Chain A
Amino acid sequence: MAAYDADSSAGGDLAYDPNFVPDSVKTFVVHLYRQIRDKNVYEIHQMYEGSFNRLTDRMFRESPWPTAEAVAPYVDGDHVFCLLYREMWFRHVYARLTPTPKQRVESWDNYCSLFGVVLHGVVNMQLPNQWLWDMVDEFVYQFQSYCQYRAKLKNKTEEELQLLRNFDQAWNVYGVLNYLQALVEKSNIIQILEREKEGLEQFTVDNGYDYQGGSNVLKMLGYYSMIGLLRVHCLLGDYRTGLKYMAPIDLSQQGVYTNVIGSHISTIYHYGFANLMLRRYGDAIREFNKMLLYILKYKQYHQKSPQYDQILKKNEQMYALLAVCLSLCPQQKLVDENVSTQLKEKYNDKMTKMQRYDDEASTVYDELFSYGCPKFITPSAPVLDEPLTNYNQEAYRLQLKMFLFEVKQQQLLAGIRSFLKIYSTITVTKLAQFMDVDEATLRTILMTYKHKMHSTDNDGKIVSNADIDFYVDDDTVHVVEAKPTKRFGDYFLRQILKFEEMISELEKVQLD
């Protein structure tokens, strides 16, 4: 276990010997290779999450792991293993170090090879779902990172610009989207999920694993790619298409997507955000609420996990977005008590300000949206002639602008909501007087309220998001408070299934 000599600089930009393989790494790869060949998923998972991170903490905090070429002799030069190892290698560089431009491009090549192998259907491994999720998640993350990187042209060296020119196909948006889509299609995952509804598949029950000697890799990469596609479309600003990709997964139920916490959070975060931009505030609030409650209950179990920081970050972002949703569409009854308490602690002042709908409110909306939103990207390739500018903020500025415009359009609604809360009937004339506007303007405000509080769902049906509603009879406004709907049907179903489980457990008990 040699310490790396900080002075020994090889010609490259890394002051370490990429070909030196410490004994512990030798043991690690030999062991991992054997476990993968023997399809011991549990062991693989232990090594992947446990050993890899322990070794990283011990020896590779500030330098990369040995290269795939260096470890290849210990694993029979297995091509697929090397692709997997390299994927982990690059992921480590992104997480702990800063990737060089060349490394970014090489990582793209590696993903192309890796996905190419998987898509050809010749992979026979079973890998832990955590690993397969991390692959897709990292793929999208590196794409996002590359778009940000190449949009910052101002301070690039000539060498960097030349690299961008020569490797203009690296991380191109069509390639990324086509790989994700190819994984979805080739894995047949949509059909599998359809057939599962008719009881012809065991996909969710088996958590995606194949207990008949086959492989879960293509299937699970296909499944996680649906979430990957949702994420990429959110980054591009195309929320509707992103949500369409999630249609095969029933988000009102537990599913394979909930079994890896990273995939659970990423799904709900992007789903909620897309709904927020589509003005479906009710749906967004419901999903954020469920996710935040889950994190509240279970985050202690993930404290040792390498993803803990990410979990906490997304948690905070979702609170910010929830605060925004609730200010635009007050619906306290949709939020669990515990989540509500947390929310008040973090954002009570800001939510009060946002509900005032003045200029100060706009600043707060800006702040929370900017904190909670994803890092949007500009997918087009950079124009590499003078003058070189940084345009990595353009995509974000556009989405922010559109969002604040929407907020501004809803500016008058806060005033009317407070009156609707007090009166059960009031004439149009009187209400106009109270609000200090003329009658025609008031009628306009009433119509805006109704229009904004109703959104169109995926089937074109109009759905109300409002907690307070009204109708007008010639010149009188009648206020109607939306009753909270008790979901008796759902409740009974759950209890029936629970009791069935209990009964079958009891029947198994043998009394001596």
Chain B
Amino acid sequence: MAKEAQQQVSYTVEELVAVNPYNPDILADLENYVNEQVSSQKYSLDANLCLLRLYQCEPERMSPPIVARILIKALMAMPAQDFSLCLFLIPEQVQSEEQFKTLIVLSHYLETARFRLFWDEVAKNRSLLESVPGFQQAIEAYAVHVLSLIYQKVPRAVLAEAINKEGLALDQFLEYHVANSGWAIEKSQGRSQLIVLPPNEFNHPELKKNASDSVSYEHVTRIFPVLS
């Protein structure tokens, strides 16, 4: 029953954001929606941007814990640029508060692929990040994504550092992806394992569809009168 009521609220919030976003009365609804996103592992960038805009217009109503949660959710959305999009709307004095400085540093490490530094910093800030379920998995997915952009075959050590797993945990991770994501494991000369990532247009350029030469349907309809 409670879950149904929750579902109703989020439906209304998305509608509000679409239809009447410039309205300070919906601020409380949007804040509740952020908490709901955190607890049920959903995500809505548009609703969060709407809330940040309202905070921009009425800075005295801004709630730092809510903003922190929005930023953490945005980090989890990488490689999408949501984190910067949110920061564009947060005033400098707010950004210089401790917890936000930490989050900005974390974002910086992820943007520049400094995974080891990133996981070290995460370890120092467990309380902040553990309040948002799904954080670990989301970052692992981002790390795998970046590796798939580059590597046809990635050395085990590189993968280990990126997703912060070693030994048994890493083996289990690999097993899972071999079974479900089309990964394969090879042995490279003398050294340890090589993980073969599934081919995509980024690590196998020959797969790149020349998509920009395809013509959209709308444009083709323009010559229908001629063809008839």
B133 partner residues in chain A, CB cutoff 8 A: none
| In the complex, residue of chain B having the shortest beta-carbon distance to the beta carbon of A499 | B226
B169 partner residues in chain A, CB cutoff 8 A: none
Q: B152–A472 contact, CB under 8 A?
A: yes
Size of chain A's interface in residues, with CB distance under 8 A?
63
A155 partner residues in chain B, CB cutoff 8 A: none
- Chain A's nearest CB lies how many Å from the CB of B149? 4
Interface residues of B in 47-95 (CB under 8 A from A): 49-50, 53, 56-59, 79-81, 84-85, 87-89, 91-92
- A271-313 interface mask toward B, CB cutoff 8 Å, 1 = contact, 0 = none? 0000001110000000000000000000000000000000000
| In the complex, residue of chain B having the shortest beta-carbon distance to the beta carbon of A444 | B113
Bound: A429/B127 CA distance, A = 39
Interface hit among A112-120, A361-369, A482-490: A482-490
Tally of A-B Cβ pairs under 8 angstroms: 149
Bound: A398/B52 CA distance, A = 15
- Most chain B CB neighbours (cut-off 10 Å) among A241, A409, A464: A241
Partner of B49, one of A238, A278, A279: A238
Q: B49–A240 contact, CB under 8 A?
A: yes
B24 partner residues in chain A, CB cutoff 8 A: 174
Q: Any chain A CB within 8 A of the CB of B137?
A: no
Q: Known interface pairs A236-B53, A380-B56, A480-B205. Does A454 touch B149 (Cβ–Cβ under 8 Å)?
A: yes
Q: A493–B220 contact, CB under 8 A?
A: yes
Q: A394–B49 contact, CB under 8 A?
A: no
Q: B89–A380 contact, CB under 8 A?
A: no
Q: Any chain B CB within 8 A of the CB of A39?
A: no
Q: A181–B150 contact, CB under 8 A?
A: no
Q: Known interface pairs A451-B146, A456-B81, A480-B205. Does A490 touch B219 (Cβ–Cβ under 8 Å)?
A: yes
Q: B226–A496 contact, CB under 8 A?
A: yes
- Chain B's nearest CB lies how many Å from the CB of A406? 7
A239 partner residues in chain B, CB cutoff 8 A: 85, 88
A493 partner residues in chain B, CB cutoff 8 A: 215, 219-220, 222-223
Q: A455–B81 contact, CB under 8 A?
A: yes
Q: Any chain A CB within 8 A of the CB of B214?
A: yes
Partner of B89, one of A236, A401, A469: A236
Q: Any chain B CB within 8 A of the CB of A206?
A: no
Q: Known interface pairs A409-B111, A448-B111. Does A490 touch B215 (Cβ–Cβ under 8 Å)?
A: yes
Partner of A450, one of B59, B202, B226: B202
| In the complex, residue of chain B having the shortest beta-carbon distance to the beta carbon of A464 | B202
Q: Any chain A CB within 8 A of the CB of B45?
A: yes
Q: Any chain A CB within 8 A of the CB of B108?
A: yes
- Chain B's nearest CB lies how many Å from the CB of A509? 20
Q: A470–B155 contact, CB under 8 A?
A: no
Partner of B111, one of A446, A451, A469, A496: A451
B91 partner residues in chain A, CB cutoff 8 A: 394, 398
- Chain A's nearest CB lies how many Å from the CB of B63? 16
Q: Any chain A CB within 8 A of the CB of B28?
A: no
Q: Any chain B CB within 8 A of the CB of A475?
A: yes
Partner of A279, one of B81, B108, B223: B81
| In the complex, residue of chain B having the shortest beta-carbon distance to the beta carbon of A199 | B221
A497 partner residues in chain B, CB cutoff 8 A: 222-223, 226
Partner of B113, one of A177, A241, A447, A490: A447
Q: Known interface pairs A397-B92, A409-B108, A487-B212. Does A443 touch B158 (Cβ–Cβ under 8 Å)?
A: yes
Bound: A446/B161 CA distance, A = 15
- A34-55 interface mask toward B, CB cutoff 8 Å, 1 = contact, 0 = none? 0000000000000000000000
- Chain B's nearest CB lies how many Å from the CB of A290? 16
Q: B114–A462 contact, CB under 8 A?
A: no
B57 partner residues in chain A, CB cutoff 8 A: 173-174, 379-380
B89 partner residues in chain A, CB cutoff 8 A: 236-238
- Chain B's nearest CB lies how many Å from the CB of A495? 10
- Chain B's nearest CB lies how many Å from the CB of A274? 11
- A181-197 interface mask toward B, CB cutoff 8 Å, 1 = contact, 0 = none? 10000000000000001
A451 partner residues in chain B, CB cutoff 8 A: 79, 111, 113, 146, 149
Bound: A238/B221 CA distance, A = 35
Q: B205–A380 contact, CB under 8 A?
A: no
Binding site for B on A (CB under 8 A): 173-174, 177-178, 181, 197, 199, 236-241, 250, 277-279, 378-380, 394, 397-399, 401-402, 405-406, 409, 440, 443-448, 450-452, 454-456, 460, 462, 464, 469-475, 480, 485-490, 493, 496-497, 500
Binding site for A on B (CB under 8 A): 22-24, 45-46, 49-50, 53, 56-59, 79-81, 84-85, 87-89, 91-92, 108, 111-115, 146-147, 149-155, 158, 161, 188, 194, 202-205, 210, 212-215, 218-223, 226
